[in-house]
Amino acid sequence: MAFTFARLTPELLITDLAASLRFWVDLIGFRVAYDRPEEGFAYLDRDGAQVMLETRNTASRQWLTGPLEVPLGRGINFEIGVAAVEPILGRLEAAGWPLYMAVEDAWYRAGEVEVGQRQFLVQDPDGYLLRPAASLGRRPATGRAS
């Protein structure tokens, strides 16, 4: 299957490419689609979910709108659609990686239906918040999501 670029791909400034790759690839399950290690850059893909990682470098052209302070990415979480969260949870537990929020089953109203997902939250080495989520299906909307 040929690689296809996503129409929206966040590019995250990071502090340590090797540490980020251990997290994103080894624990979360992304693969390196291509990289430029000499520039501290990697383009990652996980079944069409894509993200670019770029090592912070004050000497290079990076679009900074303000000071970067850890945890990075405050105010955003990246939902990643996965077939099942359990394999990721197992790898995180084996690595002793803490969760930001424990796994839960949540239902969200979307028009006339509710869509369910099993999800949890975890922070990457720089504090970016990821939310792997596996579908639980759809059900008629009850008027209140849980």
Distance between CA 7 and CA 120 in Å, rounded? 25
pLDDT band, residue 74 (cuts 50/70/90):
confident
Distance between CA 113 and CA 141 in Å, rounded? 4
In this predicted model, what pLDDT tens digit does every residue of 47-66 receive, in sequence order? 999 999 999 876 676 676 67
Contact 124, 27 (CB under 8 A): no
What single letter denotes the amino acid at residue 101? M
Contact 41, 53 (CB under 8 A): yes
Distance between CA 123 and CA 134 in Å, rounded? 18
From the candidate CATH numbers 3.40.50.300, 3.10.180.10, 3.30.70.1290, 3.40.47.10, the one assigned to the domain spanning 11-58+76-140 = 3.10.180.10
pTM equals 0.89
Sorted by where each begins, the domain ranges of the chain are 11-58+76-140
**Element containing residue 19 per DSSP (H, E):** helix 17-21
Give the residue-averaged pLDDT of 109-136. Answer: 97
